[in-house]
Amino acid sequence: AGYYVCQWCGRGYPVAGQKLTASHQHLWKNQECGGSFERFSLGHSYETDLVSLDLGIDMSVPIARVRSLTYALLEGAARELGIARDEIDGTVSVTGGKRQIVLFDTVPAGAGHSLAIADRIEDVMHGAHRRVALCECGEETSCSACLRNYRNQIFHEDLTRRDALNLLATVL
């Protein structure tokens, strides 16, 4: 629905459920502001290709473990299918009480990478297994040679080769 943002002071209100009055409190000063509001949308639609993988992972499996598998699959796909790693990414979603892995093209309008992953998912899984099994870092951690990259740095402390290997063992 977007936000109403004052053109003078920058105060903002969500459009949904908000009734605007003729005046409002200035964002920085303890006084009334005479600015007018304009409606803004802070998001956008992003159309691309994606594949949603239901691997039978239930909600009892911590999301950090599933993220490790997600990044292993992305690395395996990049290696096995010759896809530039920065052209694919992934996330974990919940559908029907199960955790699902969603892999998507980062190329606007899609480049067909996710469709290729879906067509060759067994090769991707075996590539993911090789990637994490052969890495020389400790199984209780990960490194840039197996799971870590710039885009997933927020999750670096949670990503482990052990989690990826254990989950891959259940789906291979």
pLDDT digits (tens, 9 = 90+) for 42-92: 777 789 999 999 999 999 999 999 999 999 999 999 999 999 999 999 999
What per-residue confidence (pLDDT) applies to 150?
Answer: 94
What per-residue confidence (pLDDT) applies to 156?
Answer: 97
Can you say whether the dihedral through the CA atoms of 92, 66, 113, 151 is positive or negative? Answer: positive
What per-residue confidence (pLDDT) applies to 96?
Answer: 86
What per-residue confidence (pLDDT) applies to 122?
Answer: 96
pTM of the model: 0.76
Q: How far is CA 48 from CA 24, 37, 109, in A?
A: 41, 33, 4
- What are the residues whose beta carbons fall under 8 Å from the beta carbon of 54, sequence distance 6 or more? 95, 98, 100
In the structure encoding, which two tokens stand for residue 142, read together? 């990960």
Residue type, 137: C
What per-residue confidence (pLDDT) applies to 149?
Answer: 94
Q: What does the alpha-carbon distance between residue 33 and residue 168 come to, in Å, rounded to a whole number?
A: 58
Can you say whether the dihedral through the CA atoms of 57, 55, 104, 117 is positive or negative? Answer: positive
Residues of the chain with pLDDT under 70: 17-18
Residue type, 74: L
Can you say whether the dihedral through the CA atoms of 122, 127, 130, 132 is positive or negative? Answer: negative
